[in-house]
Amino acid sequence: MKTIFDVQQLLKRYGVFVYIGNRVADLQLMELELKELYQSQLVELEDFQMALLLLRRQIAIEKEKEQER
């Protein structure tokens, strides 16, 4: 798992489609859904950790972009 697209595909396998229209909100909701899947023991620890890292990094990037505007 290397990109946000990969995280989306992981969530899609479990019927989770996220689109709110706000990129940061989308990423935060994806993080919540990912945590739910992990707590339900549907996602392996390694996949969970990598996806969480990718999401949090992208959230930070998006928030930085918003502050620059």
CATH number, domain with residue 36: 1.10.287.760
pLDDT of residue 20: 94
Three-class SS of residue 12?
A: helix
**For residue 63, what pLDDT is reported?**
96
CA atoms of 30 and 64, how far apart (whole Å): 19
State the 10-residue block means of pLDDT for the chain, 69 residues long: 96 96 96 98 97 98 93
The total number of structural domains in the chain stands at: 1
Domain that holds residue 35: 4-68
> Sign of dihedral through CA atoms 30, 35, 41, 43?
positive
pLDDT of residue 69: 84
